[in-house]
Chains A and B, each alone.
Chain A
Amino acid sequence: MSNPEASKTTSKSIKSLKTSNEVFPSVLEYYKRGHFAKMTGARKIVYHTGWDPVEIDYAMDCIPMFPENFSAACGAVQLAPPLIEVSEGLNAPEDLCSYFKNHYGFMKGSFSGDVNKMLDRIRIPDPDMVVSCKNLCRLHPLWMKIAAEHYDVPYFSIDAPVMPPRYDKNPVMFEKQWGGHVRRKPGDEAVEYGVAQLKQYIAFLEEHTGRKMDYDKLRECVAHSARMGEIYNQIFELRKNVPCPAGGEDLNTLVFFAVTMAGTQEAADFYQRVLEEMQDRVAQGKGVLENERFRLIFDGIPPWFNMGLFNYFHKFGAISVEELYPRIWCGKLDPDKPLESIAIKYLLSAGHTATFNQFLEYNRDRVREYKVDGSIMWNLPTCRLMAVILNPRDKTTFETELGVPALLLDADQVDPRRYAHAQIITRIDAFMEMLEQRKYG
């Protein structure tokens, strides 16, 4: 997929799937829906961190909104720097999470002119409640608490326990890689802890909406989410085909529905259409690239301000065929065990194991099954999860244990000020040249 803009300092990506182009209008529509609910008071707005059990919100007829998604959208429309600068003026250090600083600046600043005009397109509605889940990083709950105080609304915090190393010896629960799940069964005590907290969360929503949970509705939402998960997982499976029918430029965008609308029929139906489009391609033997020469992993939160970077790889005949980021939101659920399976999807999955073993198993599988030639690690020095827990050990294991060259690039997900274009491009060019030598001699 040729993108003439891809070598510019920052550019939008060109997606290869038609369905991918429906996402950004859907984002705007989603925000409009939130504003309408806020204006009419018809449904409560609940703020969440990045990976939260929104099936419960939908069962309670609430609308989940994501400051993190808002920050990503600000990144995509090149709006993050003025918001981040407000935060930095309040002593928020430059190496603190850019997602947080973007939203914190939005809350604390006052904006006019062009910034305000751009904000009007993607402005996130104010919350009626704020919820956080410590399943990705420890900053999330603190950020949400600050948001709850800023808007003076009730706050609820869900803990995702770090899974003790002894679970690495438990029986396998998920064969191969399934969405964001870790492979081994979590201990009963952890599942019990997760379910107990979800019950408390339901009680919190009941208290602040004045409605009782309808457990049939919850099972229905979990069934939608389960269907969505099955389809979404098939999408990842299809990408094992050579040539690959959808690249990282598509998947990182497509993830929007899985993040915000898990538990709705709308999300499941959307992914069904994506799947069908990809199945057509595979049946015709078509890929994103006419001549696919390199298959890459791209790990890290992608640069929303410069998604054209994914297209830049195309000039080498290279495509990102597998990414950890969009996979996280894919969960296997059982509608007959709604709370238990929500707990496993959100509280006891990838991202919170105390050891590296399960990540290593995951990397081993995807390198083999996706026939990967190299790995790009988009490292975020502002993100403790990426820059500390995952990297640089992930790079070491790719290279030493799996024999796959890895390129660690320091940049950011929303702040173009932390992105040195010339340096990044030079390093990518050198990396691709090395892969060329290695694969084709």
Chain B
Amino acid sequence: MIEKFEEANCPMTLKNPVVNGLKAAGKRVFGYTCTNFPEEIAYAAGIVPVRAIGAPGLVGESGPLQPAAQCFIARANMEMALGEGFSNLDGFVITNTCDMAQNFYSALEYYKPFPFYYFISRPNIAHTEPALKFFRFELEEFKKAVEGYTGKPITEDDLSAAVSVYNENRRLLAELYDLRGKEEKPRISGTDFTKVIMASFYMDKAEHNRLLKDAIARIKQGPAVENVQVRVHLSGSTYPDTEIFQLIEDAGGMVVSDDLCIGTRYFVNPVKEDQAPMDALADRYLNKLACPCMHQGSKLDERYNFIKAQLRANRGQGVVFGLQRFCDTHLVDYQALRYRLEQDKIPFLYHEVESTVGAGQLKTKLETFFDIIKGA
């Protein structure tokens, strides 16, 4: 049911048939790294944004130029950017999030800038007027830069149309997400759900919406996933493939909810359509569900309340933290979240991933973790 999405699951854009199809059709394509990039502004200018999420098992020829002590996602992205992996992209935009994002911009700017290369200085705090005002200014500057690149103004109508397409995508992804976790038996596995959302990173959203509507209708009619013994919430950032989801399923579990950058953090919080689009975009992309890079005082509670709400809504029995090695923001946030989980007596498992998920070790940990949950 998800075959049409699978062909887009190729993070190396040079080899991604869907991205190459867009290029062949004359579309301009920009890369970006983080869920905080306001894709709609590029889309409104006729540019298709595609996401850099690392690549599995990519070991770099770019090694000597790269810092060793950075997460594997960043390393793999830099490998593709310094090499040929992203060479079919017309531009790349980094939105400020973590130290890796900042490094990615400055390193590539020094070694090998993209034809269109831009850094959006997004604040690391949300829900304050000064931060919103600054970010709104930054988005306007970005819009001007894109207009300069295409030679064509981006109108309010262009932006509203883009917002509408993206909001529909968010609504459909949320519907599919609910099919995984809301019912007693999932209608779609964690692995398949992730393949669908990953495909959205490489497709024109209008096309993804069309396929998604069709898939949702068929999934609703199709069989449920049987024999799910343990329902887990997966917490982390980004993975370049679905291996961790598959391992959890192989061990008898199922990811039924998440707070991942390739999961809910990507599609929750629609853009308000009753506001001027640039204002609404600034509001959405600053004040959306907090990731660990944010540091407003309320961030940890925002994050934890979301995790708890997801556990409740999807009958989750425990939390698996699958965190990237060297990802300070997630690794420190984990320390605060673990005390909250202990206090609420919610079982959790900690696991670090790097160039691979570490299948052997994770499998053993999951078996024990699931035994504890089942015995509880």
Taking beta carbons and an 8 Å cutoff, which residues of A are in contact with B?
A: 90-93, 95-97, 100, 104, 132, 134, 137-139, 141-143, 145-146, 148-149, 155-157, 159, 161-166, 189-190, 192-193, 196-197, 200, 353-356, 381-382, 384-385, 387-389, 391-393, 396
Contacts and interface: CB of A to CB of B under 8 A. Distances in A.
B342 to A, nearest CB: 11
B350 A91 contact: yes
B295 A157 contact: yes
Leading 10 A-B pairs by shortest Cβ distance: A141-B295, A196-B130, A387-B69, A384-B99, A193-B134, A142-B332, A381-B69, A388-B67, A354-B119, A159-B125
Residue of B67, B94, B129 most packed against chain A (CB within 10 A): B67
Nearest to B328: A139
Interface stretch (B15-23, B102-110, B234-242, B310-318): B102-110
Nearest to A359: B106
B333 A142 contact: yes
Contacts of A93: 325, 331, 352
Interface string B286-306: 000000110111011000000
Contacts of A164: 119-121, 138, 141
13 contacts: A104-B335, A137-B328, A138-B329, A139-B329, A161-B96, A162-B119, A165-B109, A197-B130, A384-B99, A388-B67, A389-B102, A389-B103, A393-B106
Contacts of A166: 141
B297 A138 contact: no
B326 interface: yes
Nearest to B330: A142
Contacts of B325: 93, 95
A381 B68 contact: yes
B133 interface: yes
Nearest to A195: B130
Contacts of A95: 69, 325-326
Nearest to A199: B130
Interface string B56-69: 00000000111111
Interface string B207-250: 00000000000000000000000000000000000000000000
Contacts of A393: 65, 106-107, 110
Contact of A384 (B137, B328, B333, B350): B328
A163 B121 contact: yes
Most buried by A among B109, B297, B350: B297
A96 B331 contact: yes
B356 interface: no
B65 A146 contact: no
Nearest to A381: B69
Interface string B114-134: 000001110111001111011
Given A155-B297, A157-B125, A354-B106, A92 B67 contact: no
Nearest to A383: B69
User: What size tier do the contact residues of chain B reach?
Assistant: 35 or more
Contacts of B74: 388
A353 B110 CA distance: 13
A278 to B, nearest CB: 35
B328 A91 contact: no
Contacts, number: 159
B264 to A, nearest CB: 21
Contacts of B100: 384, 388
A361 to B, nearest CB: 13
Given A92-B331, A164-B119, A381-B69, A156 B297 contact: yes
Contacts of B266: none
B371 to A, nearest CB: 20
B121 A354 contact: yes
A161 B134 contact: yes
B331 A138 contact: no
Contacts of A165: 105, 109, 119
Interface of B: 64-70, 74, 94, 96, 98-100, 102-103, 105-107, 109-110, 119-121, 123-125, 128-131, 133-134, 137-138, 141, 292-293, 295-297, 299-300, 325-326, 328-329, 331-336, 338-339, 350, 352
B124 A159 contact: yes
Contacts of B65: 392-393, 396
A130 to B, nearest CB: 10
A392 B66 CA distance: 7
Given A145-B299, A161-B134, A138 B119 contact: no
B121 A161 contact: yes
B67 A96 contact: no
B30 to A, nearest CB: 16
Given A91-B334, A93-B352, A392-B65, A355 B99 contact: no
Indicate the member of B64, B121, B325 with the most A CB atoms within 10 Å: B121
A157 B336 CA distance: 16
Contact of B99 (A148, A353, A389): A389
A91 B329 CA distance: 14
Contact of B70 (A91, A104, A193, A384): A384
B123 A146 contact: no
B150 to A, nearest CB: 19
A100 B332 CA distance: 9
A159 to B, nearest CB: 4
A189 B292 CA distance: 25
A139 B326 CA distance: 11
A348 B336 CA distance: 29
Which of A134, A161, A166 has the largest count of B CB atoms less than 10 A from its CB?
A: A161
Nearest to B123: A159
Nearest to A144: B295
Given A138-B329, A161-B123, A393-B110, A146 B335 contact: yes
Contacts of B350: 91
A157 B296 contact: yes
Given A138-B98, A141-B124, A146-B336, A388 B69 contact: yes
Contacts of B98: 138
A95 B71 CA distance: 11
Contacts of B297: 145, 148, 155-157
Given A91-B338, A159-B123, A163-B121, A388 B296 contact: no
A96 B332 contact: yes
A149 B109 contact: no
A162 B103 CA distance: 11
B116 to A, nearest CB: 13
Nearest to B107: A393
Contacts of A389: 99, 102-103, 106
A97 B328 CA distance: 8
Contacts of B94: 354
Nearest to A141: B295
Nearest to A104: B335
